[in-house]
Amino acid sequence: MSFNDEVPFGLPCLRRVGDIGTSEFIDLDDESNESVIRTPPSITRLIVGEPGAGKTRTLLQHPFAEDAVNIGIVDVGLHPDTEGVMGVHRALRPVQANTVEYWEKYWRMATIRAIATHILFGREKNGNGSSDIEALRTFVTRARATSVPVCVTDSLTHICQGLMTRNEFREYYHSDEFARATVAVEQALRSGSRFPILLDVSDEVLDNAPVAWSECLQGLMFFVLSSKSDSLFHSVDLVATSSARVHRAATRQPRYFNYSSRADIMTLAWEARDAKRFLSRKVSSLPTRFKFTHSSSDELRDWLGVGSIMNRSRNRREKVADYVVRHTRLMPRQIICIGNELCRSVQHAKRAGGIRIGRETIHGIVHKSVRDFAREMILDCSCELVLQGIARQFKRSSLNVYDGSNEDIVGNGHALKRLLNGFQSEQAKIHELRAAILRELTENEATADDVLQLLWQRRFFGVIEQTGTRKSSVRFCNRSQELDWASLSNSSLQFNTLIIDAVNLFTPDSMKHF
């Protein structure tokens, strides 16, 4: 069986530079305004999105990507050593230093060190004769000796290990040794061609010690945005991704106001129509061996042998595409996972002489995906509650307060699970949900509204709005909108079917890790 037969919808995620070019992830850049995964404008410096929104692939479609592979740095799917990040975090927090600003400087130094290794050992040595090679070599080998070009995340790990305390880092950052190395790098960059760098730190690091990682990655975000005004990086084209969780935390920093309207920040926002279009493009590109028929005008029926499915909770039939998309977070990664599983079922049924896959099979595959991704949603929300400092009803040590430990995350996850289990129907009043939040998560009224906003932004529920005398619609959030929850207290809400189904599907064992 070939690679494409294993994952006909494409790889669900990219984890290593070696994966570049091996995925059949469809490029939606067809000059349509509805396209979401597309080549970003050349001015883009920061790509923001939720896990699974396609940040890595969008980054690799950036106009600078080809040059970055050939003459620059492609730092994709990696992350600095967690132990080093935690060590620096603990060293900074007790003195109440502005940790995000310090992390911005750590990332700046790490980037300079990575460029220096490429000047010393890389394939492109144009203009190196004017550089102070000895100054570069001293700087590069200070934290750890190297004889090959390294990426930015490796450099940050080495710097964290060598300059862990606040005083050590501050002294070296302002030292003559670092100043000479900086001048040497600047000379080399100005005498050569432009130097592109693509940076993509895996979202998964935020699931452990979210406070430390959030501050570290906020520092990266501010470094990338400020690098355009840094004379040292005049010839550097630096582009990075940022988790939406990190970006939201950064918006609470006063200095973010300077960047909030920047055109070089690209946000990947998926809506239902984008997800349906993405699914349609995926299905239309499948080889015939993954389809039952090839003559119907209904491509989903050609693919699965069925065009509609019974929605048992609402006791009505709906199109397969609507059913699949409605049970996702509208993210391409989840659609790819579901699509690959359905393709395997199609091949299995065809080998057995079938003319369609069973509707129960479709239900089972979608529900498994719901369970997996709902667990991810609860984990994401739990981490966000830690980052926002939401009060919890269990004891934490001072160390956990600094780190945002797994105890905090697990406790919030169980509280969310209890909160959702308390509702036995799809609809409720917003004041009823607020009361449940006050019981399970916090005793602060203002904080309860923060939790409502968080759950709404994660599409846990939608607000029911009247659109006519008898008609109503459900307003689910697709972007970082703000609602006045006090004025909506008596309004009704409708829980996302994904969450309702998933809560019932969770087993006690699965809740050990959500």
Does residue 19 register a pLDDT over 70? no
User: Do 166 and 91 contact (CB within 8 A), yes or no?
Assistant: yes
Outline where DSSP puts E strands in 25-147: 46-49, 73-78
SS3 label, residue 364 = helix
CB neighbours of 352 closer than 8 A, spacing ≥ 6?
none
Distances in whole angstroms, Cα of residue 510 to Cα of each of 38, 265, 409: 36, 37, 15
Ranges 240-249, 417-426, 438-447, 500-509: which has the least confidence: 500-509
The residue with tokens 């609507």 is 322
User: What burial letters (b/e) apply to 283-304, b meaning 16+ CB within 10 Å?
Assistant: beebeeebbbeeeeeebbbbbb
Q: Are strands 46-49 and 73-78 parallel, antiparallel or unpaired?
A: unpaired
Residue 77 or 504, more confident: 77
Rounded CA separation 322/276 (Å):
8
- 149: phi then psi, degrees, rounded to nearest 5: -60, 140
Rounded CA-CA distance 292/304 in Å is 7
CB atoms inside a 10 Å sphere around CB 311? 15
Amino acid 367: pLDDT: 82
Task: Give the 3-state secondary structure of residue 86.
Answer: helix
Name the pLDDT band for 2 (thresholds 50, 70, 90).
very low
Local confidence band at 164 (pLDDT 50, 70, 90 cut-offs): confident
How much is the pLDDT for 399?
A: 36
Dmax (CA) for the chain in angstroms is 78
* 270/333 Cα distance (integer angstroms): 12
Strand order in the sheet with 492-495: 427-429, 492-495, 461-466, 472-475
Contact between residue 239 and residue 48 where contact means Cβ atoms under 8 Å apart: no
Is residue 460 exposed (0-12), middle (13-18) or buried (19+ Cβ within 10 Å)? buried
Query: What is the structure's pLDDT at 469?
Result: 63
> What's the predicted TM-score (pTM) here?
0.78
Helix axes 99-121, 176-191, angle to 10 degrees: 60
> How many CA atoms are closer than 13 Å to the CA of 250, on its beta-carbon side?
29
Min mean pLDDT across 38-52, 143-157, 198-212, 286-300 is at 143-157
Secondary structure of 210-259 in HEC code, one letter for each residue: HHHHHHHHHHHHHHHHHHHHCHHHCCEEEEEEEEHHHHHHHCCCHHHHHC
Residue 506: per-residue pLDDT? 55
Number of C-beta neighbours around residue 345 at 10 A: 17
Lowest mean pLDDT among 20-29, 71-80, 222-231: 20-29
CA distances from residue 49 to 37, 180, 242, 267, 450 in whole angstroms, order as listed: 11, 38, 7, 6, 21
Lowest mean pLDDT among 35-39, 85-89, 106-110, 244-248: 35-39
- Residue pair 477/404 in contact (Cβ under 8 Å)? The answer is no
| Mean per-residue pLDDT, 359-384 | 82
Return the amino acid letter for 118: H
Tell me what pLDDT residue 424 has.
Answer: 74
The dihedral sign for the CA sequence 380, 383, 387, 392: positive
Average pLDDT estimate for 477-481: 63
Nearest partner of 218 among 263, 267, 255, 272, judged by Cα: 255
Return d(Cα 73, Cα 78) in angstroms, integer.
Answer: 13
Query: What average pLDDT does the structure give for the chain?
Result: 79
The confidence band for 421, taking pLDDT boundaries of 50, 70 and 90, is: confident
